[in-house]
Chains A and B, each alone.
Chain A
Amino acid sequence: MFRRLHDAAGERVPFTVDGRAAEALAGDTVAAALLANGITVCRNTPVSGAPRSPYCMMGVCFDCLVTIDDVGNRQGCQVRVAPGMRIETQDGKREIDR
């Protein structure tokens, strides 16, 4: 659904999504990196289970919540991808100790 701009450049950053290897460009936010990798649904809501994708990309809507390095409910659009980062999509509520 999303494609990078032609002139997008930068160092490649390896990370994992739900255990699978993926690649971002340096400077990508987690939300942007997921979209660039074709992952559009990053979570299901805790009450109705509706699928959600990053929406505002600027920290307002909280639709981009994911688990990053074992911490649940982080806003993917507000965190830059770092090498080796472990990103997990969320199904419903976060766990209290994760």
Chain B
Amino acid sequence: MSAEQRSDYDVAVVGGGLVGSATAWGLARLGQKVAILDEGDVAVRPSRGNFALVWVQGKGLGMPEYGAWTRRSSDSWGELASLLRDQTGIDVCFERPGGFMPALSEAELEDRANQLKRLHNQQAMLRYDYEIMDRAAVAKEMPFIGPDVAGASYCPLDGHCNSLKLFRAFHTGLNRFGAAYLPNRRVESIEHRDGGFRLTTVGGGEVRAGRIVLAAGHDSARLAPMVGLSAPVRPERGHVIVTEKTAPFLKFPVGYIRQTDEGGVMIGDSFEDAGFDTTVRPGVTSTIAERAVRVFPLLGKLNVVRTWAALRVLSPDGFPIYEQSVTMPGAFVATCHSGVTLAANHALALAPHIAAGKLPEEFDVFSARRFDVPKAA
């Protein structure tokens, strides 16, 4: 009997956040027998606290392949949204009107222009359209900008969605595909045996699978070494504010300000090194609120209904890690800090390779081996 036959599942995905759900959905769609092992309702889970941008502009400085990977996901996001709608009836409200990143001074605008130039001057960079707009050009699209707005960068590839509906659509879809979602099954340890994997979950239960995908967010750092991989991720806290629902006035996602499909305005986001603390800090929320009101003064009239803080899953250089274990080739790890943006890739591009059992060479650049370079003395 082969290991696969002795296993309960073809693939066990550890972690039911956005990365795990998208990958598992892609696998199940190809007919794989999939289990998703997840924690309970209360877990550190940025998949429920993110800003829902499907964002391209500015990404890939230092790793042009990441720029291309991101662009590819943006280009197939529409297909993902319609596949999910056809399968589940859930509209994840994806739109790609292009996105603005506002600059609040001439100096900031110039920095942005230089940064985007450096990004696109990289060898191997897959170039895409963007524009640096002055104040007048931005005001033509959004006449209600504040006096401090000096201009903005604009990229037609940027968009956004309703990421909670995305999460729900993946889970509904997984269920329809017959995948097993197993909550309250935190994986404690993983053993490689007889060509397959045994995952021991909290409380002592066991799940066997021919292949595994580690998509446990922050906990992948602990799990990866058990299967000959590494995922040295750390938390970075981000605050988000959301206002009461308002009649539509803002068509574009504007970097850290966007209006959701249901009318609330989301205002983000901070970048803080605060360990695993998700407490909301009033000082941080007032700083990001003030910046947003400088961009769009009329936001000042809206009531805030919620604020929260969530933890990004960041690798040392901020780029994703996708890797297949050399010593235990049935084990894969996937982690990134833009799980919404990259959802289309995880479902439609990464999952087929995992189903086939092999990550092709183009993924080598995303290996965590890039962090093994000895530090200069």
Q: Is the CB of A93 within 8 A of B301?
A: no
Please judge, given known A-B contacts A47-B245, A73-B244, whether A93 and B303 are in contact too, CB under 8 Å: no
Seen from chain B, the residues whose Cβ lies within 8 Å of a Cβ on chain A are: 244-247, 249, 262-263, 298-299, 301-303
- Cα A97 to Cα B246 in complex, Å, equals 10
Which of B249, B262, B299, B303 has a CB less than 8 Å from the CB of A73? Answer: B303
Instruction: Report the Cα distance A93→B244, complex, angstroms.
Output: 9
**Which of A47, A71, A93 touches B246 (beta carbons < 8 Å)?**
A93
Q: Is A9 in contact with chain B by the CB < 8 A criterion? A: no
Contact in complex: B262, A97 (CB < 8 Å): no
CB-CB under 8 A for A46 and B262, given A94-B244, A94-B247? yes
A-B contact count (CB 8 A): 30
Chain A interface helix/strand/loop/mixed: loop
CB <8 Å contact, A94 and B246: yes
If A73-B244, A95-B247, A96-B247 touch, whether A47 touches B262 (CB-CB below 8 Å) is: yes
A92 at interface (Cβ–Cβ under 8 A)?
yes
Contact of B302 with A93 in the complex, beta carbons under 8 Å: no
Residues in A neighbouring B246, C-beta threshold 8 A = 93-96
Cα–Cα distance between A57 and B263 once the two chains are bound (Å): 26
Distance A94 CA – B245 CA, assembled complex (angstroms): 7
Within 8 A of B (CB), among A32-88: 46-47, 71, 73
Among A47, A93, A95, A97, which residue has the most Cβ atoms of chain B within 10 A? Answer: A93
A95 to B246 alpha-carbon distance, docked (Å): 6
Top 3 A-B residue pairs of the complex, sorted by shortest distance between their CB atoms: A46-B245, A93-B247, A93-B263
Known: A46-B245, A46-B263, A95-B249. 12 other contacts (CB 8 A): A46-B262, A71-B301, A73-B244, A92-B247, A93-B246, A93-B263, A96-B247, A96-B249, A96-B301, A96-B302, A97-B298, A97-B301
